[in-house]
């Protein structure tokens, strides 16, 4: 992995004085040029070295976002949208300096319409905040990437998570957006209607654009009824492939499970140490079933039979809400738990997604690759939709470990691509997966992406240096 140092111009001279003065007029004391604030906004949860912006502004209204973009376009200064900084692929790093626009204070829930099953929120609203507001409506927002990410950031990276096998990803659950374009113009995409045949699908264009096309300032999402009954269970297996084959059969039989999560033996050990659990240190699946009392019981019985056919054992139930919460809280904290397997380490994360029929082959090949490495590499995954994650733990003071991590990353990604999969199932491209875009999409498809980018952002000011290069590769 290329780990660039912070920009040489960490002072304020990189920004035109007139731009700083204009931003000061807009934001007052919500403009910061302190080293501490710039450092905070120049890093995320990735293993990349920090890349500081030249200044940080804290937007509280849509017009402030639009004004910032118009000013930055006037002075040709980059803009990097910032939510809560939980991304894993370097999305918020200011690789060319510029203005970090922090949207966390735009955290108002604008409307909840229980009749139409929709909510409209500002981009800084987090998934937990939205679900807390929905508590008395009988509805919930199901997209759950683990971290308490902001809805704007989840749109930008096209997040998914543990519930995606039943409820889909952000792509399926965003009905419309308000977006500030690179020149400060504001547009609305989509409507509250469940479908439309009118024109290009601009909503889907911005969902997953990683801040490279504009700044999302408002999100309208689908809501779902809370299930009548919820049941959770876990089951251990003698090997990773046994567990994955149980999932494949479950999906192919059409069992409507809400969640199915995989952890390998090393990940189970980390959860035990971090969350004081007593999981067997073996490959295992965490299941959750939603529906009526009868349908949940039927789903669980069928999955129990499938698991037994694949040598599953210790099928343990967590029917009480507190037991379910403990189980899923442990899974959500897996990233931080895995870091404790090697104190002081950083995680080089990779997440790939393959067709469900190819998942066992991909997991088995990955297991063989990781066995050749001295680095600890726990695996977790949302295997119900063919997506899994590897956290490769490295000593940040040893460059040779970063090289080894990237060797493993390349093996994992290229196998997924060879099996008809993708280089990233949910983390996004950011900086880390840029090198695989050509292999996955082809140069002609990248040319189309470049054309869209330049049409909306001709000066390349919106989160520049991410996702793909603007220059066509010739080799």
The 10s digit of each residue's pLDDT in 405-427 is: 999 999 999 999 999 999 999 99
Q: Is the pLDDT of residue 7 over 60?
A: no
**For residue range 327-350, what is the model confidence (pLDDT) as tens digits?**
788 888 898 999 999 999 999 999
Q: Is the pLDDT of residue 2 over 80?
A: no
The more confident residue out of 243 and 161 is 243
Closest of 388, 460, 392, 401 to residue 427, by C-alpha: 388
The mean pLDDT of 233-259, rounded to a whole number, is 93
pTM beyond 0.85: the answer is yes
> Which pLDDT belongs to residue 95?
95
Query: Distance between CA 444 and CA 283 in Å, rounded?
Result: 41
Query: Distance between CA 131 and CA 116 in Å, rounded?
Result: 17
> Which pLDDT belongs to residue 474?
66
**At 5, is the pLDDT very low, low, confident or very high (cuts 50, 70, 90)?**
very low
Query: Distance between CA 43 and CA 50 in Å, rounded?
Result: 5
| 109-225 is a CATH 3.30.465.10 domain | yes
Distances in Å between the Cα of 213 and the Cα atoms of 81, 221, 383, 470 are 11, 20, 31, 13
Which of these CATH numbers, 3.40.50.2300, 3.40.462.10, 3.30.9.10, 3.30.70.1290, describes 229-418?
A: 3.40.462.10
Domain ranges of the chain: 12-102, 109-225, 229-418
| 12-102 is a CATH 3.40.50.2030 domain | no
Provide the residue count of the chain: 475
Query: Distance between CA 78 and CA 147 in Å, rounded?
Result: 27
């Amino acid at each position: 992995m290329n780990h660039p140092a912070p920009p040489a111009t960490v002072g304020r001279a990189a920004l035109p004085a007139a731009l700083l003065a204009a931003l000061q007029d807009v934001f007052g004391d919500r403009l910061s040029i302190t080293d501490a604030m710039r450092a905070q906004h120049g890093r995320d949860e990735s293993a990349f070295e920090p890349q500081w912006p030249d200044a940080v502004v804290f937007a509280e209204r849509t017009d402030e976002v639009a004004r910032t973009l118009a000013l930055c376009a006037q002075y040709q200064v980059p803009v990097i949208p910032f939510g809560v900084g939980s991304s894993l692929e370097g999305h918020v790093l200011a690789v060319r300096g510029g203005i970090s626009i922090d949207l966390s204070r735009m955290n108002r829930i604008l409307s909840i319409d229980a009749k139409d099953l929709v909510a409209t929120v500002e981009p800084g609203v987090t998934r937990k905040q939205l679900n807390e507001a929905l508590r008395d409506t009988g509805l919930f927002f199901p997209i759950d990437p683990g971290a308490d990410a902001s809805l704007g950031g989840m749109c930008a990276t096209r997040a998914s998570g543990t519930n995606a096998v039943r409820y889909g990803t952000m792509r399926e659950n965003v009905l419309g957006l308000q977006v500030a374009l690179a020149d400060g113009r504001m547009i609305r995409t989509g409507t509250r209607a469940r479908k439309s045949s009118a024109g290009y699908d601009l909503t889907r264009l911005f969902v997953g654009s990683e801040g490279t096309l504009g700044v999302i300032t408002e999100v309208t999402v689908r809501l779902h009824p809370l299930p009548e009954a919820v049941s959770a269970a876990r089951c251990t297996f003698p090997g990773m492939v046994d567990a994955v084959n149980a999932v494949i059969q479950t999906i192919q039989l059409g069992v409507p499970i809400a969640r199915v999560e995989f952890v390998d033996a090393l990940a189970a050990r980390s959860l035990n140490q971090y969350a004081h659990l007593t999981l067997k240190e073996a490959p295992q699946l965490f299941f959750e079933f939603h529906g009526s009392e009868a349908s949940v019981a039927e789903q669980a019985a069928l999955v129990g039979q499938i698991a037994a056919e694949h040598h599953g054992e210790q099928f343990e139930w967590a029917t009480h809400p507190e037991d379910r919460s403990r189980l899923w809280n442990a899974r959500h904290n897996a990233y931080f738990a895995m870091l404790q397997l090697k104190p002081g380490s950083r995680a080089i994360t990779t997440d790939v997604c393959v067709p469900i029929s190819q998942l066992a082959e991909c997991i088995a090949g990955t297991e063989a690759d990781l066995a050749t490495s001295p680095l600890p590499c726990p695996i977790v995954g949302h295997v119900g939709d063919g997506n899994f994650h590897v956290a490769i733990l490295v000593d940040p003071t040893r460059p040779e470990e970063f090289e080894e991590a990237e060797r493993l990353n390349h093996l994992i990604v290229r196998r997924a691509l060879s099996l008809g999969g993708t280089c990233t199932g949910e983390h996004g491209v950011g900086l880390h997966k840029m090198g695989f875009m050509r292999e996955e999409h082809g140069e002609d498809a990248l040319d189309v992406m470049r054309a869209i980018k330049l049409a909306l952002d001709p000066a390349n000011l919106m989160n520049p240096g991410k996702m793909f290069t603007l220059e066509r590769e010739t080799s």
